[in-house]
C-alpha cells in the first residue's frame, strides 16, 4: 500500500529503494602504449631538463639577490680610455690690472676736482685736502731746522776761535822752549869758565826741561781740541740732517695733499662726499687703468693647491672664446674661494668694462689614455670605494679605487676594465647589497 504521497507506508528493513550502477560497470583493459608516444614524452622531458640547466643559475642568482631595482631609475655609463681633462669653471668678472686707490696723507677737508667716470691722464689733479694741522707742523719743523742750521754755523765759528786760542798757546810754549834753550847754552859756557855757580847751571837745565814738557803738552792740547771741536760740529750737522729729513717728509705730505692721477684711465668711485672731513690715510677715490684689463675668477679653495701661475685658461665673453693665462693666485681665502687673476694672451679685447661678467675655465691637467667613467653621485656613496657593475640582469658590487676627479669625469685606478658598465647614479638605496636584481 502507498500513502497519500505515493510512498510505501512500510518497507522491510534492508530493502533498497533506489538501485546503484554497480551492475552496469565493466572493467576495461588499458590500451597498449605506442612507442612513438614514449619518444614524445622523453623529448619533452629532455627539453624541460635543458631549460632548467640553462636558466637555473640565473634563477638561483635571482632568488639569492635580496633587492631589485628598475633600470629606468638608474644611470649607467661605460668605462673607457680617454683623455682626462681636469679643469675648473666659474663665473668671473673683468677687473683692471691696475686700479690704485688714492689716500689722504693727512687729516683735513677734501675737495674733488673730478667726477666718477671721468677720463683722466697721468698727473691730472683729482682732489685736494686742506689740512691746517699739517701746514702748522711743517712751519714749526722748518723753524726748528733754521735754528739747528744757525747753531751749526755758530759751532763752526766757535771751533775756529778755539783753534786760534790753542794755536796761540802752542806758539807761546814754543817761544818759551827756544828761550830756555838759549839760556841753557849761556849757562853751559859760563859754567865752563866757572863764571856761574853749579846751582845756576843746573837750574838752567831744569828750565829747558820744563819748557820742553810744556811745549809737548801744548801740542797734545791742540790735537785733542781739534778732535773735540770736529765731534761737536759733526753732532750739530747730524741734527740738521735729521731735521731736514723730517721737513722733507712733511713737505712731501703737504705736496701730496694735491692728489694727482698716477695712471691714465677713468675715475672709479668717489669714496667720500665732497667737503667731507677725512682722517689721515683715509681712502678717497680710485682710478681704473682701462688699457690693461684682467679676469678675476673665484675658484673653490679645494683647487687652490692645483692652480699655479702659467696654467692655460679660456674666457667666454660676448659669444667669443678668448685664450688666457693664469697670472696670480691670491693667498687669502674669502668665503670658501680663492681669487685667481687671468690675463688675456692676445692683448686686451676692445670695449670691455670694469666688473663686466664673463665665464672662465682654467685647465689644471690634461692626461691622455686614462681609464675614465662619467662622473655621478656614486662617487659620494661609501667614499667612492665601490661601484655596481652591470652583469646581464643584475648588478654586482665590486671594490674600486678612484683617482682624479674632473668636472664630468672620474679616473678609475683599479677594480674595473674598459668596456664594462657601472651605475653612476645614486646607489645609497642598495649600497649594502652584494648583488641587486635589475628589472625593466
Q: What is the spatial distance between Cα 347 and Cα 190, in angstroms, rounded to a whole number? A: 109
The set of cell numbers assigned to 170 is 802752542
pLDDT confidence of residue 38: 58
Q: What is the spatial distance between Cα 191 and Cα 321, in angstroms, rounded to a whole number? A: 120
pLDDT tens digit string along 179-188? 888 888 888 8
3-state secondary structure of 225: helix
If you average pLDDT over every residue of the chain, what do you get? 84
pLDDT tens digit string along 386-426? 999 999 889 999 999 998 887 788 999 999 999 999 999 99
Top pLDDT among 79 and 22 is at 79
**Under a CB-based contact definition with an 8 Å cutoff, are residues 307 and 356 in contact?**
no
Top pLDDT among 198 and 109 is at 109
Per-residue pLDDT averaged across 356-364, rounded?
90
Per-residue pLDDT averaged across 98-109, rounded?
90
Give the distance from CA 96 to its chain's centroid.
19
Q: Does 2 score more than 50 pLDDT?
A: no
**Under a CB-based contact definition with an 8 Å cutoff, are residues 384 and 372 in contact?**
no
Q: Does 298 score more than 80 pLDDT?
A: yes
Buried b or exposed e, range 130-151, using 16+ CB within 10 angstroms = ebeebeebbeebeeebeebbee
Buried b or exposed e, range 210-240, using 16+ CB within 10 angstroms = ebeebbeebeeebeebeeebeebeeebeebb
Nearest in space to 424 (alpha carbons), one of 371, 370, 384, 369: 384
Per-residue pLDDT averaged across 345-357, rounded?
84
pLDDT confidence of residue 59: 52
pLDDT tens digit string along 230-286? 889 899 999 999 999 999 999 999 999 999 999 888 898 899 999 999 999 999 999
Q: What is the spatial distance between Cα 169 and Cα 165, in angstroms, rounded to a whole number? A: 6
Per-residue pLDDT averaged across 137-156, rounded?
92
Buried b or exposed e, range 165-197, using 16+ CB within 10 angstroms = ebeebbeebeebbeebeebbeebeeebeeeebe
Instruction: Indicate the pTM of the whole model.
Output: 0.48
Say which residues have a Cβ less than 8 Å from residue 155's Cβ, sequence separation at least 6: 232, 233, 236
408 half-sphere exposure, CB direction, 13 A CA radius: 4
- The H-or-E segment that residue 78 falls in is strand 76-78
Amino acid at each position: 500500500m502507498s500513502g497519500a504521497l505515493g510512498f510505501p507506508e512500510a518497507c522491510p528493513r534492508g530493502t533498497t529503494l533506489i538501485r546503484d550502477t554497480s551492475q552496469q560497470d565493466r572493467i576495461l583493459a588499458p590500451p597498449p602504449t605506442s612507442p612513438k608516444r614514449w619518444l614524445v614524452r622523453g623529448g619533452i622531458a629532455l627539453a624541460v631538463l635543458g631549460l632548467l640547466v640553462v636558466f637555473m643559475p640565473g634563477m638561483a642568482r635571482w632568488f639569492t639577490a635580496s633587492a631589485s631595482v628598475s633600470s629606468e631609475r638608474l644611470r649607467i655609463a661605460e668605462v673607457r680610455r680617454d683623455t682626462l681633462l681636469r679643469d675648473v669653471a666659474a663665473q668671473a668678472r673683468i677687473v683692471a690690472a691696475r686700479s690704485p686707490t688714492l689716500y689722504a696723507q693727512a687729516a683735513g677737508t677734501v675737495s674733488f676736482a673730478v667726477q666718477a667716470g671721468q677720463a683722466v691722464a697721468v698727473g691730472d689733479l683729482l682732489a685736494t685736502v686742506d689740512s691746517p694741522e699739517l701746514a702748522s707742523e711743517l712751519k714749526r719743523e722748518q723753524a726748528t731746522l733754521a735754528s739747528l742750521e744757525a747753531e751749526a754755523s755758530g759751532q763752526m765759528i766757535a771751533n775756529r776761535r778755539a783753534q786760534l786760542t790753542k794755536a796761540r798757546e802752542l806758539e807761546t810754549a814754543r817761544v818759551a822752549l827756544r828761550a830756555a834753550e838759549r839760556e841753557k847754552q849761556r849757562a853751559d859756557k859760563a859754567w865752563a869758565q866757572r863764571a856761574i855757580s853749579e846751582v845756576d847751571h843746573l837750574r838752567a837745565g831744569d828750565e829747558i826741561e820744563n819748557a820742553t814738557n810744556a811745549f809737548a803738552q801744548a801740542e797734545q792740547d791742540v790735537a785733542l781740541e781739534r778732535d773735540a771741536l770736529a765731534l761737536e760740529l759733526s753732532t750739530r750737522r747730524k741734527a740738521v740732517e735729521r731735521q731736514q729729513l723730517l721737513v722733507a717728509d712733511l713737505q712731501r705730505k703737504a705736496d701730496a695733499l694735491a692728489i694727482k692721477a698716477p695712471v691714465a684711465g677713468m675715475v672709479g668711485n668717489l669714496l667720500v662726499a665732497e667737503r667731507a672731513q677725512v682722517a689721515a690715510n683715509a681712502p678717497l677715490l680710485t682710478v681704473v687703468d682701462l688699457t690693461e684689463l684682467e679676469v678675476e675668477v673665484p675658484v673653490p679653495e679645494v683647487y687652490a693647491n692645483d692652480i699655479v701661475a702659467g696654467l692655460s685658461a679660456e674666457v667666454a665673453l660676448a659669444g667669443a672664446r678668448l685664450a688666457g693665462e693664469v697670472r696670480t693666485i691670491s693667498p687669502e681665502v674669502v668665503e670658501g674661494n680663492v681669487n685667481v687673476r687671468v690675463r688675456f694672451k692676445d692683448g686686451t679685447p676692445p670695449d670691455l668694462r670694469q666688473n663686466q661678467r664673463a665665464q672662465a675655465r682654467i685647465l689644471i691637467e690634461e692626461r691622455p689614455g686614462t681609464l675614465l667613467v662619467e662622473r655621478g653621485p656614486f662617487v659620494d656613496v661609501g667614499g667612492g670605494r665601490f661601484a655596481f657593475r652591470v652583469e646581464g640582469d643584475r648588478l654586482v658590487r665590486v671594490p674600486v679605487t678612484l683617482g682624479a676627479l674632473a668636472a664630468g669625469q672620474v679616473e678609475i685606478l683599479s677594480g674595473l676594465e674598459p668596456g664594462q658598465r657601472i651605475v653612476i647614479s645614486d646607489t645609497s638605496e642598495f649600497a649594502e647589497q652584494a648583488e641587486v636584481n635589475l628589472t625593466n
